[in-house]
C-alpha cells in the first residue's frame, strides 16, 4: 500500500470539516460519508534552483488535503492549514485524486503528496519514489489537466515557464 | 460530526447554501492567462450567452488577424484590471463596479450575492519571486457559518467554498479587488 505522511486529524478539525461539509452540500440520510486519508500539501516556493533534482527542493509543506467519501467514491475534499479548514470542495478533482491514489496502492515505496503551484495555477498528485518523482496534474488551465509528467521534466518546465500573470491588479 | 471518521447524522441535514438566483456553471480557463476570460464566460453563461473565451479575448485584442479561436495560444494574454473593468466587461454587456472596499465582509457578500442577486468577481495578487501574478474567482453563494462559495477557472470543475476569514491572504495571494456585477 502506498504511503501518505502521517497525520492524526484533530477532533476539532474533523468536526469543523463535517459541519462545513453538511452545511454546504447536505448529506442524504442513506449516504455513508466518511473522512478518508489525509495527504500532505506542499506549495511551490516560487523558484527552481539550478541544482534542484527533486520536487522536495522547490516546495514546502503548507497544509493537508483530506479526501471525503460519499457513498462508494471520494467525491469531495477539504483542505486545512494549522488545524483550520481553508477550503472544501466537491467535484472531479477528488475523484481524480482517488483514482491516482488507488493506482499507486500496490507500490509501498511511494509516498503520496499534493503539490500546489499557484504561480502556474496547477495542482498535482505527487508520487514521491525513493529515487524519483512523478506528477499527475489534477487541476489547472488549458491542456495541463490530466497530464502525467516525471519530476525531472516538471522541474525543467517550471524553471523555464514564466509565472502566469492572468490579471494585472 | 465525524465519529470513527464517518459523519454521525444526529439531525436531518439539508444543504443550506444560499445561492445567486441564476445557476452559474464552472468554465475552465482554456489558456493559462485566460482566468479573466473564463470568469467573464461564467457570468455570461449564467445569462444564457454561449460566448466563448476565444471570442471574448479576440474582441478585447481588436486584431482579427490573430484568429484567437483557431490559434488560441497566439492570444494567450493577461488583462490589466483597468482594461477588464472599462473595456472587457462593458464590451461584453456586463456592468461592473469596484466595491468601495475590496475585502467585503461575509454579510456584505451575502447581501450582494443572495439578497441583491449580484455576482462578485474577486481579484487576487501574489508575489512570486521577482514577479507579481494575479488571479480571479467568481462568488456564487454563501453557506453557514462563514463560507463563500467560489467558482475558480483553475479548480477542475469543482464547486468549492472558502471560509471568509481565509480569503484576504490565504486563497491565492492577497485579495485586492472586488467587482460587483449588476
Residue B7 has a pLDDT of: 62
Q: Where are the domains positioned within chain B?
A: 23-181
Say if the Cβ atoms of B158 and A93 lie within 8 Å. yes
Say if the Cβ atoms of B81 and A169 lie within 8 Å. yes
Q: What is the mean pLDDT of residues A39-64?
A: 96
Interface test with B, best of A7, A96, A168 (most B CBs within 10 A): A168
A80, A47, A42, A84: which is closest to A62 by C-alpha? A42
Residue B11 has a pLDDT of: 44
Taking CA–CA distances from A120, the nearest residue in chain B reads B32
Contact list in A for residue B27 (CB cut-off 8 A) is: none
> Above 50 in pLDDT, residue A125?
yes
Residue A28 has a pLDDT of: 53
- Domain at B23-181: CATH code: 3.90.70.10
Cβ(B58)–Cβ(B68) under 8 Å? Answer: yes
Say if the Cβ atoms of B154 and A17 lie within 8 Å. no
Contact list in B for residue A34 (CB cut-off 8 A) is: 2, 5-7
C-alpha–C-alpha distance, residues A55 and A41, integer Å: 12
Say if the Cβ atoms of A24 and B143 lie within 8 Å. yes
> Above 60 in pLDDT, residue B1?
no
- How many CB atoms are located within 10 Å of the residue B163 CB? 20
Buried b (16+ CB within 10 A) or exposed e, A33-47: bbbbbbbbbbbbbbb
Return mean pLDDT, chain B.
Answer: 91
| ipTM computed for the complex | 0.91
User: pLDDT tens digit string along B28-74?
Assistant: 999 999 999 999 999 999 999 999 999 999 999 998 889 999 999 99
Whether the upstream peptide bond of residue A87 has omega within 30° of 0, thus cis, is: no
Q: How far A78 CA lies from chain B's nearest CA (Å)?
A: 9
C-alpha–C-alpha distance, residues A52 and A58, integer Å: 7
Say if the Cβ atoms of A24 and B33 lie within 8 Å. no
> Above 80 in pLDDT, residue A165?
yes
Say if the Cβ atoms of A14 and B154 lie within 8 Å. no
User: pLDDT tens digit string along A81-105?
Assistant: 999 999 999 888 999 999 999 998 8
Residue A3 has a pLDDT of: 82
Say if the Cβ atoms of B126 and A165 lie within 8 Å. no
Say if the Cβ atoms of A22 and B32 lie within 8 Å. no
Q: How far A157 CA lies from chain B's nearest CA (Å)?
A: 14
Contact list in B for residue A169 (CB cut-off 8 A) is: 81, 123-125, 134, 176-177
C-alpha–C-alpha distance, residues A52 and A66, integer Å: 29
Q: How far A33 CA lies from chain B's nearest CA (Å)?
A: 6
At A62, is the pLDDT very low, low, confident or very high (cuts 50, 70, 90)?
Answer: very high
Q: What is the dihedral of CA A154, A2, B154, B115, to 10 degrees?
A: -160
Q: What is the mean pLDDT of residues A138-142?
A: 93
Q: What structural domains does chain A harbor?
A: 3-160 (3.10.500)
Backbone angles phi, psi at A32, to 5 degrees: -100, 115
Residue A29 has a pLDDT of: 53
Residue B131 has a pLDDT of: 83
Contact list in A for residue B7 (CB cut-off 8 A) is: 18, 21-22, 27, 33-34
C-alpha–C-alpha distance, residues A41 and A122, integer Å: 13
Contact list in A for residue B158 (CB cut-off 8 A) is: 89-94, 139
Say if the Cβ atoms of A141 and B29 lie within 8 Å. yes
Q: What is the mean pLDDT of residues B113-134?
A: 92
Q: How far A57 CA lies from chain B's nearest CA (Å)?
A: 16
Cell reading at A6: 502521517
- Give the residue, B38 or B3, on which the prediction is more confident: B38
Contact list in A for residue B136 (CB cut-off 8 A) is: 166-167
Q: Give the rounded distance of the alpha carbon of B121 from its chain centre.
A: 5
Say if the Cβ atoms of B31 and A164 lie within 8 Å. no
Residue A27 has a pLDDT of: 61
> Above 60 in pLDDT, residue B10?
no
Q: What is the mean pLDDT of residues A23-32?
A: 67
Q: What is the DSSP letter of B112?
A: I
Taking CA–CA distances from A25, the nearest residue in chain B reads B15
Say if the Cβ atoms of A46 and B129 lie within 8 Å. yes
Cell reading at A164: 502566469
Q: What is the mean pLDDT of residues B2-10?
A: 57
User: Considering only A19-23, A76-80, B151-155, B161-165, which range has the smallest mean pLDDT?
Assistant: A19-23
Q: What is the mean pLDDT of residues B126-141?
A: 90
Backbone angles phi, psi at A154, to 5 degrees: -60, -45
Amino acid at each position: 500500500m502506498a504511503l501518505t505522511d502521517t497525520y492524526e486529524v484533530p477532533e476539532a478539525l474533523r468536526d469543523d470539516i463535517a459541519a462545513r461539509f453538511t452545511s454546504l452540500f447536505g448529506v442524504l440520510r442513506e449516504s455513508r460519508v466518511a473522512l478518508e486519508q489525509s495527504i500532505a500539501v506542499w506549495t511551490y516556493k516560487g523558484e527552481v534552483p539550478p541544482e534542484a533534482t527533486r520536487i522536495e527542493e522547490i516546495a514546502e509543506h503548507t497544509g493537508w488535503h483530506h479526501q471525503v467519501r460519499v457513498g462508494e467514491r471520494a467525491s469531495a475534499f477539504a483542505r486545512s492549514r494549522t488545524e483550520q479548514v481553508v477550503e472544501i470542495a466537491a467535484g472531479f478533482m477528488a475523484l481524480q485524486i482517488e483514482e491516482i491514489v488507488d493506482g499507486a496502492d500496490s507500490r509501498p515505496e511511494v509516498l503520496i503528496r499534493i503539490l500546489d503551484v499557484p504561480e502556474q495555477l496547477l495542482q498535482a498528485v505527487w508520487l514521491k519514489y525513493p529515487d524519483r518523482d512523478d506528477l499527475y496534474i489534477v487541476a489547472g488551465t488549458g491542456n495541463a489537466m490530466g497530464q502525467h509528467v516525471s519530476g525531472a521534466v516538471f522541474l525543467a518546465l517550471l524553471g523555464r515557464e514564466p509565472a502566469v500573470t492572468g490579471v494585472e491588479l | 460530526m465525524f465519529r470513527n471518521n464517518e459523519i454521525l447524522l444526529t439531525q436531518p441535514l439539508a444543504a443550506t447554501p444560499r445561492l445567486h438566483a441564476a445557476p452559474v456553471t464552472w468554465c475552465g480557463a482554456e489558456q493559462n492567462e485566460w482566468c479573466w476570460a473564463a470568469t467573464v464566460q461564467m457570468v455570461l453563461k449564467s445569462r444564457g450567452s454561449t460566448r466563448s473565451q476565444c471570442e471574448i479575448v479576440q474582441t478585447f485584442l481588436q486584431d482579427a488577424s490573430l484568429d484567437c479561436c483557431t490559434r488560441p495560444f497566439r492570444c494567450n494574454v493577461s488583462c490589466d484590471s483597468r482594461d477588464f473593468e472599462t473595456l472587457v466587461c462593458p464590451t461584453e454587456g456586463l456592468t461592473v463596479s469596484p466595491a468601495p472596499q475590496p475585502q467585503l465582509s461575509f454579510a456584505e457578500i451575502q447581501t450582494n450575492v443572495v439578497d441583491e442577486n449580484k455576482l462578485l468577481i474577486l481579484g487576487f495578487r501574489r508575489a512570486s519571486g521577482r514577479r507579481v501574478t494575479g488571479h480571479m474567482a467568481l462568488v456564487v453563494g454563501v453557506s453557514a457559518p462563514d463560507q463563500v462559495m467560489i467558482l475558480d477557472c483553475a479548480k477542475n470543475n469543482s464547486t468549492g467554498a472558502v471560509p471568509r476569514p481565509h480569503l484576504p491572504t490565504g486563497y491565492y495571494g492577497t485579495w485586492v479587488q472586488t467587482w460587483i456585477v449588476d
